[in-house]
Structures are given as structure tokens and as C-alpha cells.
């Protein structure tokens, strides 16, 4: 099954007391599953804002987020969360792991939401944690893990469902070059085996250039480089 996302004339204005911040000023963007795209741009340019709107975690002030030709930006929250769980693997800039849960339990969450059996969830989750070098920390909680380890657990949680789209916000920000290359390889493996698309927000130019298309967000506008 192939999917497509089409963003039309996206605007986002944040209201802060009397002042307004115009973060996105008419962004257009397309991606099909199986494609890889990088979004770069200076700090504060709106990359996280854009990714959250694409991932149906935030709503635009104007414009549409079409998923398979259906504008989902104004859909009900229950539908949005179902779409997120079914189709997206979101890697947050600040990992957002559940503090009370172990690494393994955090990764199992999206599979449990899909009503898969506990045995199956545990097996798949342990498998992906092993692939990213976290097999020795399955039963540690986030506050017993390093920053880069938390980031890897959050990556495992996003990949465990083999999503149609991986939305990754600076996923390798806390990782050393070897761990970073491993994560890149996991993304490519999922593209090849599950046809996953990748939207990668990053300040790492070398990593960005490994994607098939590179965009830059600046002054509220997204341009292809
Ligand atoms: N909830 C909010 N209310 C008000 N302003 C906000 C809000 N969220 C973000 N902003 C502002 O929008 C701008 C874009 O923020 P965003 O987090 O999208 O930037 P970014 O490109 O991801 O930056 P970085 O590279 O540092 O992660 C910033 O100036 C920020 O202050
Ligand atoms: Mg950001």
C-alpha cells in the first residue's frame, strides 16, 4: 500500500499575549511513502512546528494537510490519533518517553495500542532495541539512561510499527557518529523492506544530503535546495 502526503499553502501563527509570531507563511510540500526528504533551516525557523503539523500533532492556522487526498488537518482528535498510530512513527526532538515505563515497555506502547498480543509486542520491541544497540538496557527507565540512549529508545518506539512515514525531528542530535550511521541504516532498511517514507529534520548537512530531496525552511518559506 502506497500513501501520499500533500501540504498546501500552510500557515502557522502563534499568539503570544499581544504579539503574534508568523512561523509558516505558505509552505507547500509533498512526499510519497518510500521517499526520503530532509528539512533543514536555522534554529527557530519552524521545522518542529511544520513536522508536528504534518504529523497531525498540531493544527495549521491556514492551509491543508492532505493524506491520500483527504484534508485531515481539521479531522476529529480521535481520527487523528488513529491515523498517527496506524501510519506514522514520530521521533520527537526531546524524546517524550514515559518516565514510569522501562525502555522495553516504552517501545511496546504503540503495538499494544494496535491490540497486538503482549508476547508479540515484547518480541518485536526487544528485536528492534537489539538492532540499535540497546539490548543491554531493556529494563532501564528513562532516568536511568543517557540522553543518547533515551533518543535511541524513542527511535525504536517510532520504528517498531514499521510505519508508512517516519517523521524524525533531529533524531541523531545526541548520538555519536557510529550510532548515527546505525540509525540512518535502520531508516533505509525500513524504506526497503516496508516502503516507509522518511521526513528528516536535521542540522546535520552530511545526513541531510543522503536524502533524495533536501529542503530549507527560512523566513517561513520552504525551498528546495
Ligand atoms: N507554542 C508556541 N507559542 C508561541 N511561539 C511558539 C510556540 N511554539 C513555537 N514557537 C515559536 O515558533 C518559532 C519556531 O519554533 P520551532 O520549534 O518550530 O523551530 P525549529 O526550527 O524547530 O528550531 P530548532 O532548530 O531550534 O529546533 C520559534 O520562534 C518559537 O519561539
Ligand atoms: Mg525544532
The x, y and z cell numbers of residue 221, run together, are: 518559506
Q: Whose CA is nearest to atom 6 of ligand 1?
A: 14
- Domains of the chain, start order: 31-48+68-224 (3.40.50.300)
CB of 165 closer than 8 Å to CB of 197: yes
Residue 190, pLDDT > 90, answer yes
For residue 43 and ligand 1, the question of a CB distance below 6 A is answered with: yes
Ligand lying nearest the CA atom of residue 44: 1
Q: How far is the CA of 143 from the centre of ligand 2 (A)?
A: 22
Spatial separation of the C-alpha atoms in residues 90 and 110, rounded to whole Å: 11
The CA–CA distances, whole Å, from 64 to 83, 102, 119 equal: 16, 37, 40
Q: What is the residue-averaged pLDDT of the chain?
A: 95
Question: pTM of the entire structure?
Answer: 0.95
What pLDDT score does 2 carry?
86
Spatial separation of the C-alpha atoms in residues 114 and 145, rounded to whole Å: 27
pLDDT tens-place string over residues 27-77: 999 999 999 999 999 999 999 999 999 999 999 999 999 999 999 999 999
Spatial separation of the C-alpha atoms in residues 133 and 130, rounded to whole Å: 5
What pLDDT score does 42 carry?
96
Q: How far is the CA of 50 from the centre of ligand 1 (A)?
A: 10
Amino acid at each position: 500500500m502506497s500513501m501520499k502526503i500533500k501540504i498546501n499553502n500552510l500557515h502557522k501563527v502563534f499568539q503570544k499575549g499581544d504579539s503574534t509570531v508568523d512561523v509558516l507563511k505558505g509552505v507547500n510540500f509533498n512526499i510519497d511513502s518510500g521517499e526520503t526528504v530532509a528539512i533543514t533551516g536555522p534554529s527557530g525557523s519552524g521545522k518542529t512546528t511544520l513536522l508536528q503539523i504534518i504529523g497531525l500533532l498540531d493544527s495549521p492556522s491556514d492551509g491543508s494537510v492532505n493524506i491520500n487526498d483527504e484534508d485531515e488537518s481539521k479531522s476529529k482528535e480521535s481520527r487523528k490519533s488513529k491515523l498517527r498510530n496506524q501510519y506514522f512513527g514520530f521521533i520527537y526532538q526531546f524524546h517524550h518517553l514515559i518516565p514510569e515505563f522501562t525502555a522495553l515497555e516504552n517501545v511496546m506502547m504503540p503495538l499494544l495500542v494496535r491490540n497486538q498480543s503482549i508476547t508479540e509486542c515484547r518480541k518485536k520491541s526487544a528485536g528492534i532495541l537489539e538492532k540499535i544497540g540497546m539490548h543491554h538496557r531493556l529494563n532501564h527507565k528513562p532516568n536511568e539512561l543517557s540522553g543518547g540512549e533515551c533518543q535511541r529508545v524513542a527511535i525504536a518506539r517510532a520504528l517498531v510499527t514499521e510505519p508508512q512515514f517516519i517523521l524524525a525531528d533531529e533524531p541523531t542530535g545526541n548520538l555519536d557518529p557510529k550510532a548515527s550511521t546505525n540509525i540512518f541504516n535502520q531508516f533505509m532498511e525500513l524504506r526497503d523492506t516496508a516502503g516507509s517514507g522518511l521526513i528528516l529534520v536535521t542540522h546535520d548537512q552530511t545526513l541531510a544530503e543522503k536524502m533524495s530531496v533536501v529542503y530549507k525552511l527560512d523566513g517561513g518559506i520552504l525551498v528546495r535546495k
